[in-house]
Amino acid sequence: MTNAMELYQMLPKTNCKKCGKTSCMAFAVALMAHELTPEDCPPLKDEPKYKENYEKISEIFKPSEGATETGLIVHEDLCFGCGNCVVACPPNVANDPYGVGSGNAPRNVNKLVLTVENGIVKAQNLGECRRFGKNKILCNGCIVTCPVEAIEFV
């Protein structure tokens, strides 16, 4: 994994402020925190001389294949739909205590992060996941309860 200094080295370093940040260093920090994307730097994106660096940075921030916004990957070939993660997931329990929180079928699918569909767990409503947003924490409720390591965060 890279750090903000390495990202800064690849940026135009002109402090043009077109991204809305005060300096290129500030932009690099915002990139690291996933607040901004490489596309938010107009010179980097448009000027041919930065093309190589733009591709490099985009490669770093490209979401992994199959991963969701929170980096959650379900290995569908491993998952057998036991539903441990669905019942253990803290936002699931908070949003549907008498449904999935008590081991039953979901009563309010619209606010659940994990559900089981056709015998395989499916991630949705990632805004509810504790790994999402400004106050994110490294929750691992769904990983430690999986008997076959079918859930992974990248």
Under the binding rule (CB under 8 A), the answer on residue 103 touching other proteins is yes
Size of the site for other proteins (CB under 8 A): 26
Nearer to other proteins, 6 or 152 (CB): 152
Instruction: Write down the residue that tokens 């491993």 correspond to.
Output: 78
Q: How far is the CB of 77 from other proteins (least distance, A)?
A: 11
126-145: which residues touch other proteins (CB under 8 A)? 145
Token readout for 88 is 């253990």
Under the binding rule (CB under 8 A), the answer on residue 15 touching other proteins is no
By CB atoms closer than 10 A (0-12, 13-18, 19+), residue 139 is middle
Under the binding rule (CB under 8 A), the answer on residue 94 touching other proteins is no
CB 153 within 8 A of CB 139: no
CA nearest to 84, candidates 109, 116, 128: 116
With CB under 8 A as the contact rule, which of the stretches 25-33, 37-45, 82-90, 126-134 interacts with other proteins?
82-90
- Return the amino acid letter for 76: E
Token readout for 1 is 């994994």
Q: Which of 93, 126, 139, 143 binds other proteins (CB under 8 A)?
A: 93
Q: Which of 10, 24, 72, 87 binds other proteins (CB under 8 A)?
A: 87
CA nearest to 130, candidates 95, 79, 105, 103: 95
Q: Residues interacting with other proteins, by CB under 8 A?
A: 79-84, 86-88, 93, 97, 101-106, 115-120, 145, 147-148
